[in-house]
Amino acid sequence: GLAAGTLSYGVAVLLMGLAYLCLALSMAEMTSMLPFAGGAYGLARCALSFYAGFIMGCAEAIEYIMYVTCSVVQLGRMLADKWPQLRGLEFLVWFAIYAVACSAIILGGKFFWRWNMMLALISLGIILVFCLGSSGQVNLAANGGGQDMLVVGGFMAFMKASPLSTWFFVGIEALNTLSNEVHDPKTTIPKGQVACMLTLLITSAAVFFVSISLPPGMPAVATALTPLSAGFVLLFNIHETDATLLSMPATFATIQGFILAYTNIIKALADSKLLPSVLGRQHVTFGTHVNAIVAGSALSFALCFLDGYVDGLDTILYNVCIFFGFLAYTSQCVGYIYLKRRYTKLERKFVSPVGIPGVVFAITVWVMNMVSIVAFQDDHQVSLIVAASLLVLLSLFYHCYAKFHQTFSEDERKLFFFAHVANQLTAPQHQSPRAITRAHTTTQRMFMHFNPVLMDLLVVPTALRLSTIRSVAARGSSRAGSGAREAKTAPTERDVRRQTIGPVATDMHGGVSSKPRSSRRDRRTSSIQDFIQHTHDSIDIWAVGITIVIGGQYFSWNAGLAAGTLSYGVAVLLMGLAYLCLALSMAEMTSMLPFAGGAYGLARCTLGFFVGFLVGCAEVLEYITYVACAMVQLGRMVAQLQPSLQDHLYLVWLVAYFVAGSVLAINGKVFWYWNKGIAAFVLLAVLVYCGLSVGYANMHQHAGGDAFLVVGGFSGFMRQFPLASWLYSGLEALNMLSNDVMNPKAIIPRGQIACILTLLVTSWAIFLITISLPPSMPATALQLAPLSAGFSLAFNITLDSATLLSIPATFATVQGIVMGYTNVLAAMATSKLLPSVLGHRHSIFNTPVNAIVVGSLASYGLCFVDHGVDGVHELLFNTGMLFGFASYTVQCVGYLFLHRHHNDLPRGFRSPVGVPGAVFAIVVWAVNILSLAFFQDDNHASLAIMLALVAAASLYYVACAKHRQTFSDDERALLLFAHVAKANNAPHAGQFHKSVAIAPQSLTAALMDRLRHPPKHVDSSVMRWKMTSVVVSSIPRIMPHDMDAAKTAAEVVVAQDSAPHEVDLMARLKDPDLLF
């Protein structure tokens, strides 16, 4: 690591030492509370998830196995340096090393501990002799390399060398795996761990300083096999090969220690049946885990052949090893935060003095070093590929084998159940309902997969739950009164205990899901969330629309000028008018039925579940591909500004995704103020561009004259028409903010209309001024950032420097569209059309973090394809906009449906262009779909890709989503409100019975199917009647402000005989209006 310079590497060692100190202190605190021999695996399994726990356990095991491999190969090289006749027989040396180390561990007992104590004292004594004996020869000024060797290679070299500083400290975390080896681990291990870490900090600092201060000095010491040998040569006046012998005891001790560590991890995984249980068996005589020792050592020994005989693999193995190490350290720190926040009342005999701030610092260091391994090593990302491949293989193994065999080991059952009970016993006497529900959920999650008998006791039978829901709904109705949505009364502690598992979700077939859910109100009660809450108005919505769309006015749209200024100008005009009609119709629909699912929710209500699913997928794919295209353009702008980053664009993309995702994950005031700041800046930049550039504008001179009015005729027009969407695309995403504002029916329409009018003005101003400035047509059509010419003239700077002013708007567009696909993914997940984990919200910030991560990973992957393969950029854009125009068409069709069948529903805004405007927009979208399908020079590849994706989505729907889907809470509330509101506003009964409900056929069909094929416990018509009544009894809770309408609708069904016959019930179900 000293190749980066003494100061540079010294900073790396300091940061690494402090990070390991914070890790050791936090691990000591956790061990004093919950000692578990599984190390990071056990903690991750408890704090994160079973899958994450398995991955962390394997990561730790791989780290230790590979570290042992690297150390054994190094020890073999030391022995070969001393005895050259061993060269060519290294495999025998390696085998002997493994045999001695494993034998000591297998024997165990007093023999191992005394043997280990002897090795520790010898190794530490040699360090003391080196430091004290060499102190007389220390001369930093003469041997440290001077100013030239302080910093070598700058930041890039620092990042490359930083992971090497782990050699000083790695392995300290393994002490937690000894919890089963000592009598009182809660006291003994924390004391030993803290004392060990402090000792290592002192010895590492001493070794580092003395080594760089001795002859031969820098840079020779950076390439030495054993850097301490120089001191021993001077001290004992011996040959360097003889001095190498003094480094061998410590190297062997490290090998033996790590073998013990991976043995304990493998044993813990085997005890939980995540690995074959044979690996957890103990020796009948010694009581040690021989199978785990042999299996781990055999794998490590096999890797020695690759490391020892393949050039360059030593570095790869170490990078992969320490990458998994940093991953495990990060999970341990996250687990510490989890336990610190969740189990505050559990007794702990040691408390970390650095607490949560310390582990946050450590996480920062681990992440920085993971980035170093991924991006700053001269290995062509081979380390990353190997690590990713191993993660994929481990994931496959988990989902194919371990997931179905795993259980809780005896250690886990005793510790985690004790933790849960102890936490409840030490909690305050009067707990909030949220705390009670959360505590119960923890217990249920612990045992739900592995103890069916206990689950039978925990989970109330479905019939009883239905009855409970009915009674709670009735109580909620009587308490709701005429207040707004916030007036819903939270359940009392008695209610929570009576329900046992909390709220229940109704599925598509009338059944119930036993998965507990906390209400949105409960999820927002944390102090952090209260601090960042923000009251939104139309300006916020307007600002979001500006940031989403206006970035497209800074880049890419100018490629359409290849069709000619007049031809493309007509395209921009038509596209702008179509988006205006779309925005006006969407504003009207939002003022009537605000739904965060956007086009997906509208299509699901109006065209059917299958079409709704396809439209949702289309929106997601549109946004993901759009973000990938915008991100690649952003990277090119940054590279134009800073050419040294040309080969590291993936880092630019990664940073941009991370910043955008972090802001969206935090949300609240942070996001909204940040977004308004960006909107103000990018809009000000447009005003500056137009205002200062207009003096240089000369359309007659720079627009290309008559020769560039129309280029390529109708075919040229059709080919470039879709590119005009860059100026407006993304505006439709504003409808997805319905859950983020207090009064979406009023706020979103106003913000949406203000936004489209602003964008129409800016787009036409930018278009006219850009074609009127140098470098003139057709060069303007080829510019990366078309506004750079105006900024260059206005500020008298170079074009490359002017590109800087286009970067914020491009990033803003990325961030806005990331929010778009996040909302759609979350909406589909809450309806179980996608895995429900994508809809889970962060416990503090109440944001769908999983949806952000998954969508961003998909988009990030496309960036590599876009950047690395010629012609893919246009193909990605064409495919994305095919999906986009399809979803726009569906939104317009949905508007026509609602306008025709539900025109009497109350709405706060009516589109002035109405049905004709929506029809005009549909025509424009259809023309653009034809353009993308048949007028692009891509051999119809984008059309083929779209059709293939649609086919894949259809298969997924038929095979999986169709049978899992349900109505989300938002959908249920909106559909029932729309239906009852329509009935309440109908002028006479005839119109009421002729009305077409938004989705009654599908909802009724689902209920009827459930009644025809009920669960086994539903064996009477009375029970089936109760199942149907759940829907009716929920109306007053959903619409407390319209009790009369709800009561009227409910009486149609409820005011019948108390025990109706099944035939009568089925007859009533055939009439959707009568049902409600």
* Average confidence (pLDDT) over 1017-1024: 46
Alpha-carbon span 323 to 315, nearest angstrom: 12
Q: Please, how many CA atoms are within 13 Å of residue 312, restricted to the half-sphere of its CB?
A: 6
Q: What is the mean pLDDT of residues 554-563?
A: 91
Residues 1020 and 1029: their CA atoms lie apart, in Å, by: 14
Q: Which among 942, 963, 984 is the end of a domain?
A: 963
pLDDT of 471 over the 90 cut: no
Q: With contact defined as beta carbons under 8 Å apart, do 985 and 965 qualify?
A: no
Assess if residue 836 is contained within a domain: yes
For the cut 80, the answer to whether the pLDDT of residue 623 exceeds it is yes
Q: Is the pLDDT assigned to residue 46 strictly greater than 80?
A: no
Q: Residue 722 has what pLDDT?
A: 94
**pLDDT tens readout for residues 891-921:** 898 888 888 877 777 788 889 998 999 999 9
Q: How many residues does the chain have?
A: 1076
Helix axes 154-161, 6-33, angle to 10 degrees: 40
Task: Burial-class residue 439 by CB neighbours within 10 Å (0-12, 13-18, 19+).
Answer: middle
Residue 929: is its pLDDT beyond 50? yes
pLDDT for res 468: 38
Phi, psi at 513, each rounded to 5°? -105, 135
pLDDT at 169 over 80: yes
Q: Determine, yes or no, domain membership for 709.
A: yes
Mean per-residue pLDDT for 207-223? 87
pLDDT of residue 414: 63
Question: Measured between alpha carbons, how far is 549 from 563 in angstroms, rounded to an integer?
Answer: 23
Q: Which residues, listed in sequence order, are joined to residue 513 by a DSSP beta bridge? A: 505
Cis peptide bond upstream of 808, omega within 30:
no
Q: Is the pLDDT of residue 731 over 50?
A: yes
Q: What is the pLDDT of residue 536?
A: 65
Compute the average pLDDT of residues 120-138.
87
Average pLDDT (585-594) is 86
Task: Confirm whether 982 is domain-assigned.
Answer: no
Answer yes or no: is pLDDT of 466 > 50. Answer: no
- Higher pLDDT, residue 1021 or 970: 970
Percentage of residues in the chain with pLDDT exceeding 90? 33
Inter-CA distances, 602 with 32, 592, 613, Å: 54, 12, 11
- Judge whether 575 and 727 are in contact, CB under 8 Å: yes
DSSP string, 94-116: HHHHHHHHHHHHHH-HHHHHHHH
Nearest to 890 by CA among 576, 586, 590: 586
Contacts of 677 (CB under 8 A, 6+ apart): none
pLDDT at position 482 is 36
Total tally of structural domains belonging to the chain: 2
Give the pLDDT mean for 73-92: 87
Indicate whether 576 belongs to any domain: yes
Q: What are the tens digits of pLDDT across the range 418-461?
A: 555 554 544 444 444 444 444 444 444 444 444 433 333 333 33
Residue 996's pLDDT band, with cuts at 50, 70 and 90, is very low
Position 977 scores a pLDDT of: 54
Confidence of residue 271 (pLDDT cuts 50, 70, 90): confident
What integer pLDDT is reported at residue 127 of this predicted model? Answer: 92
Q: What is the pLDDT of residue 102?
A: 94
Give the SS3 label for residue 1003.
helix
Among 532, 527, 1, smallest CA distance to 219 is for 1
Query: Whole-model pTM above 0.85?
Result: no
- Average of per-residue pLDDT across 580-593: 89
Distance CA 343, CA 675 (A): 36
Distance CA 828, CA 910 (A): 28
DSSP 500-528: SS---EE-TTS-EE------HHHHT-SHH
CA separation for the pair 532, 334 (Å, rounded): 22
pLDDT on residue 596: 64
Distance CA 240, CA 234 (A): 10
Residue 595 main-chain phi, psi, to 5 deg: -145, 130
pLDDT given for residue 308 in this prediction: 78
Q: Is the pLDDT of residue 496 over 60?
A: no
pLDDT band at 314 (very low <50, low <70, confident <90, very high): confident
In a domain, residue 903? The reply is yes
Among the candidates 939, 963, 987, a domain finishes at: 963
Is the pLDDT reported for residue 1042 higher than 70? Answer: no
- Residue 591, pLDDT > 50, answer yes
Three-class DSSP category at 274: coil
- What is the C-alpha separation between 1034 and 473, in angstroms, rounded? 6
Task: Classify residue 988: in a domain, yes or no.
Answer: no
Residues 757 and 544 sit within 8 Å (Cβ to Cβ): no
pLDDT, greater one: 234 or 956: 956
Q: What percent of the chain has pLDDT over 70?
A: 78
Region 101-128: what's the mean pLDDT? 90
CA distance 968 to 970: 5
Tokens 């780290």 belong to 63
pLDDT confidence of residue 38: 63
996 domain residue, yes or no: no
CA distance 826 to 740: 13
In a shared domain, residues 688 and 836: yes
Q: Is 802 helix (H, G, I), strand (E, B) or coil?
A: helix
Assess if residue 505 is contained within a domain. no
Q: Give residue 484's pLDDT.
A: 35
Q: Which of 379, 404, 429 is the last residue of a domain?
A: 404
* DSSP states along 831-891: TTSS-GGGG---TTT---HHHHHHHHHHHHHHHHHHHHSTTHHHHHHHHHHHHHHHHHHHH
* pLDDT in the model for residue 921: 96
- 407/409 Cα distance (integer angstroms): 6
857 has pLDDT over 60:
yes
What average pLDDT does this structure show over 864-883?
90
Across 160-174, 374-388, 428-442, 762-776, least confident range: 428-442
**Long-range contacts from 914-921, C-beta under 8 angstroms, 24+ separation:** 917/580, 917/581, 917/584, 917/585, 918/581, 918/582, 918/585, 918/892, 919/892, 920/577, 920/578, 920/581, 921/578, 921/579, 921/581, 921/582, 921/585, 921/888, 921/892
- Is residue 494 pLDDT above 80, yes or no? no
* CATH number reported for the structural domain that contains residue 941 in this entry: 1.20.1740.10
Dihedrals phi, psi of 953, to nearest 5 degrees: -65, -40
Is 207 within 8 Å of 216 (Cβ atoms)? no
| 320, 33 contact by CB (below 8 A) | no
Determine the pLDDT at residue 235: 82
What pLDDT score was predicted for residue 738? Answer: 78
pLDDT for residue 1023 is more than 90 = no
Let me know: does 822 contact 657? Beta carbons within 8 Å. no
What is the rounded average pLDDT of the residues 939-965?
A: 91
Give me the pLDDT at residue 416, please.
Answer: 58
Question: In this model, does residue 683 exceed pLDDT 80?
Answer: yes
Distance (Å, rounded) from C-alpha 432 to C-alpha 512?
A: 26
- The range of the structural domain enclosing residue 391 comes to 2-404
Could you give the CA distance from residue 836 to residue 850 in angstroms, rounded to a whole number?
10
Question: Higher model confidence: residue 502 or residue 382?
Answer: 382
Rounded-to-integer distance, Cα 795 and Cα 410, Å: 71
CA angle, 182 as apex, 177 and 185 as ends, to 5°?
Answer: 70
